[in-house]
Amino acid sequence: MSMRSITIIANWKMQHSLHESIALVEAIEAGLPQLPEWLSVILCPAFTALPSVHPLLRQCQLGAQDVFWEARGAYTGEIAPPMLTELGCSAVIIGHSERRTHLGETAGMIQQKVYAAIGGGLIPILCVGETQKEREEGRKEQVVTAQVIAACSGLVHIPAELFITYEPVWAIGSGHPVQPEDAEHMHQVILHALREVLPADALERSVRVLYGGSVDRGNVNALLRMPHVSGCLVGTASRRSEDFLAIIDAVIQL
């Protein structure tokens, strides 16, 4: 049994309607065994499902998939941190590569979102990762280090928990996760980068590095056996309750 804290996060992206989200949460909560103390599960449905899903949660926590950096104001279409906590969210995904790619999120925007989430009492789940091209050019360490430093530099208020998720862009939704040793190496690169911007005690106390990108029931444990892989962010394999419950069962056997 693992004594480290492990966090498994489901990222449902824009894949489910309200009714599908409700059915999925009900099936997951009904199928979960009693979770050990060291294992936490966070479900991140679309914004529209958050209020309906929250009362259905028993063992899982609620997360959102994005947040805006101001607490209130004339920002059409945006959602502020207090709006998420009001709905029962405890965490929020920030800087997912799909938002960097399709919505043009910049390093500066992502940094502001990290600050705002922390200020608003949400656990940031900051996503970083290199593209296939950057990897082929031998720049994965450089790219990921720059993303981490850009998002976390200048943090004065260090939260109780801060998740950084290493999500190589080429591994997302591809069926080809990174090799566990490669994830371990990149997680150490991330922790090294954080040492430049966070005090050592805060790093030790608050930060955990998770992996995301084609995680499934067959590969989750090999990834989690790496000493610096503290959990996973799961997309495709979190969309069906059987697949997601199989991941949780596998993790409990670790």
Catalytic positions, please?
96, 167
Q: Which is nearer to ligand PGA, 93 or 189 (CB)?
A: 93
Nearest-approach distance from CB 101 to ligand PGA, in angstroms: 11
Q: Tell me the residue length of the chain.
A: 254
Query: Smallest distance, Å, CB 15 to ligand PGA?
Result: 10
Integer angstrom CA distances of residue 230 from 30, 47, 154, 226 = 25, 26, 25, 8
144 CB burial (10 A radius; 0-12, 13-18, 19+): buried
* E strand segments, the chain: 6-11, 39-44, 61-64, 89-94, 123-128, 162-166, 207-212, 231-234
Q: What is the DSSP code string of 118-157?
A: HHTTPEEEEEE---HHHHHTT-HHHHHHHHHHHHHTT--S
For the bound state, the minimum distance from the C-beta of residue 245 to ligand PGA, rounded and expressed in Å, comes to 15
Pairing, β 6-11 against β 39-44:
parallel
Q: Kindly tell me which of 9 and 122 has the beta carbon lying closer to ligand PGA.
A: 9
Contact 190, 151 (CB under 8 A): no
Nearer to ligand PGA, 8 or 237 (CB): 237
| Residue with Cβ nearer ligand PGA (161 or 216) | 216
Count the neighbouring beta carbons within 10 Å of the beta carbon of residue 99.
18
Binding site for ligand PGA (CB under 6 A): 11, 167, 172-173, 212-215, 233-237
Helices (DSSP H) in 153-199: which residue ranges? Answer: 180-197
For β-strands 61-64 and 231-234, DSSP reports them as unpaired
- The smaller minimum CB distance to ligand PGA, of residues 100 and 228, is found at 100
User: CB of residue 248 vs ligand PGA: minimum separation in angstroms?
Assistant: 15
Q: Is 62 helix (H, G, I), strand (E, B) or coil?
A: strand
What is the nearest approach in angstroms of ligand PGA to the Cβ of residue 13? Answer: 7
CB of 25 to ligand PGA, least distance (A): 18
Q: Which is nearer to ligand PGA, 193 or 215 (CB)?
A: 215
Which residue's Cβ lies closest to ligand PGA? 235
